Amino acid sequence: MNADKNQKDYSKAERIKIHQPDPTKADRFNPRNRIYVRAVKGLWTTLRRRLGWVAMLVFLVIPWFSWGDRQAVLFNLAEQKFHIFGLTIWPQDLTLLAALLMIAAFGLFFVTTYLGRVWCGYTCPQTVWTFIFIWFEEKFEGTRHKRIKLDQLPWSFNKIWRKAAKHTAWLAVSLLTATTFISYFVPAHQIYIDLFSLNETGLVYFWVVFFALATYGNAGWMREIMCIHICPYARFQAVMFDKNTYIVGYDSQRGENRGPRARKSDPKEQGLGDCIDCDLCVQVCPTGIDIRNGLQYECINCGACIDACDNTMSHMGYAKGLISYTTENKLDKIKEKVLRPKLVGYGVMLSIMMLLFIYASMTIAPMRLDVIRDRNQLYRENNDGLIENTFTLKVFNKTESTHEYDMNVEGLSDYQWIGPKHVTLMSGEVLSVPISLAVDPVELTKSVTNITFHVISVDRKVEVTQESRFFSH
């Protein structure tokens, strides 16, 4: 009993309150309970739309940028190399991709701790594409009330052509999205020609259709279901939230008691707060929640309810900010803390990972050398009485052009090199060069001699080294 009480007290002190839906009410998470999002104008809606269009434009045009004689951003799976402008990442450099993913993760953690789910509300592809689809929905079917009425009407020519036009636009955007996405893996100038001339491979057609249907289903039909039920970010975001995290919050002390009233009436005389209970904040919400119920994990911090409420407050002659970007501490009239250990920790880790990534990407060697000893025999004595060690030199040309290389070894005063000493490698080629080193036993003073192999480009601009051992007895 005492343990339960202590746990309850601890939870109250350390955790922020999250509203839990009433199970006795209608299941608003049921996919059949469709949400009709109402259009709204305001600062945050304008910002979100502009960011969304910019993100969409960047996504569409990046595959068309060139870097030299190739596509600037191209993840060439067939040749196993990733081009990101001037950076080329080979399978041997995949730690860079791991570091990039860690940067993205810590960046998301940092932003979420400070600003809540702004990624979800403003730049998440699911949100951007959903609002684009809603925009087409409004153009063909009308405002929220008209869409509701249209769905309630029996099928007619007017309803059929509007629905058909909407879904045609959705499919066109989905097809464009899928083709653009695939053009990050197949050269863009090639895929559009081959795709529509029916000369593309079956695998490419499969992925284009797959991603087109996924986009059409996610942004057109599932929408908030993706954000609420499928996306894992909504589930683990609470770990990063604290009472100083900026959220979309409703000032209940100012808004309650809520209720309708005449525009020129005095709400204080009626015992009312500033909220007129118009429900516009619910109608504009893409996930269908009522922000006045408190913090909810379904909220994606898009700010639509803020714009709706501010418009209502202006119409009523009240001060804006009844719903705003705020913190739990600010709502409770407690002093906010911007710098706190968790935020600083995420910031430090993000900075370290970015510096390491920059350093690693700037120091990628254009060539790689691996030295493999003959493990079946450490050494042997040849017919001339020389001690001979056998090696395999694996030379990897990581540049984007053909190069010639010279090979030699240091650490042996007098030796014979048995095998090729000059090789030519094309871009991305890995060449295994079997060689042997033979040394007069008189020249060997130790049983194990440290040696260093050198591979140098003919123009002397690139050189790599690799240490090994020479065994004599």
pLDDT, tens digit, for every residue of 7-62?
A: 444 344 445 565 555 544 445 445 446 899 999 999 999 999 999 999 999 999 99
Task: Judge whether residue 278 has pLDDT over 90.
Answer: yes
- Average pLDDT on 414-426 reads 92
What is the distance, to the nearest Å, from the Cα of residue 109 to the centroid of all Cα atoms in its chain? 12
Vertex 317 angle, CA 311 and 318, to 5°: 80
Nearest to 37 by CA among 382, 249, 281: 281
What is the distance, to the nearest Å, from the Cα of residue 413 to the centroid of all Cα atoms in its chain? 55
Q: Given pLDDT bands bounded at 50, 70 and 90, which one contains residue 233?
A: confident
CA distance 131 to 56: 12
- Average pLDDT on 448-465 reads 90
Task: Judge whether residue 280 has pLDDT over 80.
Answer: yes
CA distance 206 to 42: 41
Task: Judge whether residue 315 has pLDDT over 60.
Answer: yes
What is the per-residue pLDDT for 68? 82
Mean pLDDT of the chain: 88
Q: Given pLDDT bands bounded at 50, 70 and 90, which one contains residue 189?
A: confident
Task: Judge whether residue 231 has pLDDT over 70.
Answer: yes
CA distance 182 to 114: 34
Task: Judge whether residue 5 has pLDDT over 90.
Answer: no
Nearest to 275 by CA among 310, 325, 327: 310
**Residues 406 and 458 sit within 8 Å (Cβ to Cβ):** yes
CA distance 9 to 1: 12
What is the per-residue pLDDT for 219? 94
pTM score: 0.80
- Average pLDDT on 120-126 reads 93
| Chain position carrying tokens 């079956």 | 202
Spell out the domains of the chain, with CATH numbers in brackets: 367-471 (2.60.40.10)
Q: What percent of the chain has pLDDT over 70?
A: 93
